[in-house]
Amino acid sequence: MKVALMIGAAAVLALPATGLAQDAASVAEAEAVGVGDIIVTARKREESLQTTPLSVSAFSGDALDKAGIEEFSEIASRVPGFTFNPDNVSEPNIFLRGIGTDIESAASSAAIGFFLNDVYLPRAQGTAIELFDLERVEIVRGPQGTLYGKNVVGGAINFITRKPTDEFRAGMEAGIGNYAAFDVKANVAGGIADGLSGSIAATARRRDGFAFNTFTGNDMEDLSAFGVLGQLRYQPSDSLDILLTGDLTRRRAQGKWVDILIPSDHNIPFVNPDRRRGPNNIDGKQDADLGGVHLTADWDTGSGTLTSITAYREGSFVAVNNDAGSFIDFTRLVYGPDGRIDFGAIDRDAFNDDYFVNNKDEKVESFSQELRFNSDFDGPFNFLAGLYYQHEKVKRVENSDYIFVEFFAQGEEIGETRLKSDTWAAFVEGTYDFTETLGLTAGIRYTRDNKRFAVYRETIGDFLGAEFEDENGNFTRSFTASDKQSWDAWTPSVNLHWQPAEDVYLYALVSKGYKSGGWNGENATNPGEARVSYDPEYAWNYEIGAKTMWLDNRLRLNLTGFWTEYKDLQTQQFVIFDPNLPADNVIANAGKARVKGIELETQMVPVDGLTLFANYTYMDAKITGDLISTALQFDTSCFCSVPVPTNLKGNVLRRSPENSFSIGGDLTVPITDRFEGFVRADYSWTDGFFFDNENSDRTAQDSVGVLNGSLGLQTEDGKWTFTLWAKNLTNELYESGKSDVIGSVLVSYAPPRTYGASLKWKY
- Per residue in 707-761, pLDDT (tens digit) is 999 999 999 998 999 999 999 999 999 999 999 988 899 999 999 999 999 999 9
339: Cβ–Cβ under 8 A, 6 or more apart, which residues? none
**Rounded to the nearest 5 degrees, what angle is found at the Cα of 672, between the Cα atoms of 670 and 674?**
95
Strand partners, 617: 599, 660
Whole-number Cα distances in Å, 718 to 26, 165, 441, 721: 16, 20, 42, 7
C-alpha to C-alpha distance for 738 and 83, rounded to whole angstroms: 13
In the prediction, which pLDDT does 52 show?
87
C-alpha to C-alpha distance for 416 and 124, rounded to whole angstroms: 18
Instruction: Answer whether 64's CB lies under 8 Å from 137's CB.
Output: yes
* Strand bridging mode 537-550 / 119-120: unpaired
Residue 17 scores a pLDDT above 50: no
- Per residue in 634-692, pLDDT (tens digit) is 666 766 667 778 889 999 999 999 999 999 999 999 999 999 999 999 999 999 999 98
If pLDDT is split at 50, 70 and 90, which confidence band does 461 have?
very high
In the prediction, which pLDDT does 748 show?
95
In the prediction, which pLDDT does 641 show?
63
C-alpha to C-alpha distance for 677 and 673, rounded to whole angstroms: 12
Q: Please tell me whether residue 531 adopts helix, strand or coil conformation.
A: coil
Mean pLDDT of the chain: 89
For residue 352, how many other CB atoms are within 10 A of its CB? Answer: 25
In the prediction, which pLDDT does 15 show?
31
Superfamily of structural domain 39-276+285-484+491-762 = TonB-dependent receptor, beta-barrel domain (2.40.170.20)
Q: Which residue has the higher pLDDT, 651 or 19?
A: 651
* Strand bridging mode 112-116 / 119-120: antiparallel
Instruction: Answer whether 47's CB lies under 8 Å from 40's CB.
Output: yes
- Per residue in 260-291, pLDDT (tens digit) is 999 999 999 999 999 999 999 999 999 999 99
Q: Please tell me whether residue 30 adopts helix, strand or coil conformation.
A: helix
In the prediction, which pLDDT does 192 show?
97
* Strand bridging mode 119-120 / 704-715: unpaired
472: Cβ–Cβ under 8 A, 6 or more apart, which residues? none
Please give the DSSP secondary-structure letter assigned to residue 462.
Answer: S
Q: Which residue has the higher pLDDT, 142 or 474?
A: 474
C-alpha to C-alpha distance for 154 and 568, rounded to whole angstroms: 14
Residue 511 scores a pLDDT above 80: yes
Instruction: Answer whether 276's CB lies under 8 Å from 734's CB.
Output: no
- Per residue in 729-740, pLDDT (tens digit) is 999 999 999 999
Considering 111-125, 152-166, 285-299, 739-753, the range whose residues carry the highest mean pLDDT is: 285-299
Whole-number Cα distances in Å, 97 to 62, 538, 545: 26, 15, 16
Instruction: Answer whether 137's CB lies under 8 Å from 127's CB.
Output: no
In the prediction, which pLDDT does 583 show?
63
End-to-end CA distance of the chain: 34
In the prediction, which pLDDT does 13 show?
24
For the chain, what's the residue count? 763
Residue 189 scores a pLDDT above 70: yes
Considering 35-39, 309-313, 640-644, the range whose residues carry the highest mean pLDDT is: 309-313
Instruction: Answer whether 518's CB lies under 8 Å from 449's CB.
Output: no
Residue 22 scores a pLDDT above 50: no
C-alpha to C-alpha distance for 471 and 535, rounded to whole angstroms: 23
- Short-list 231, 228, 200, 362, CA closest to 291: 228
211: Cβ–Cβ under 8 A, 6 or more apart, which residues? 219, 220, 221, 257, 276, 277
- Short-list 323, 322, 360, 286, CA closest to 128: 286
What percentage of residues in the chain have a pLDDT greater than 70? 92
Please tell me the pTM assigned to this model: 0.90
Give me the phi and psi of 73, to 5 degrees please: -55, -30
Please give the DSSP secondary-structure letter assigned to residue 376.
Answer: -
Q: Where are the domains of the chain?
A: 39-276+285-484+491-762
Whole-number Cα distances in Å, 369 to 100, 308, 314, 640: 26, 7, 15, 58
C-alpha to C-alpha distance for 330 and 338, rounded to whole angstroms: 16
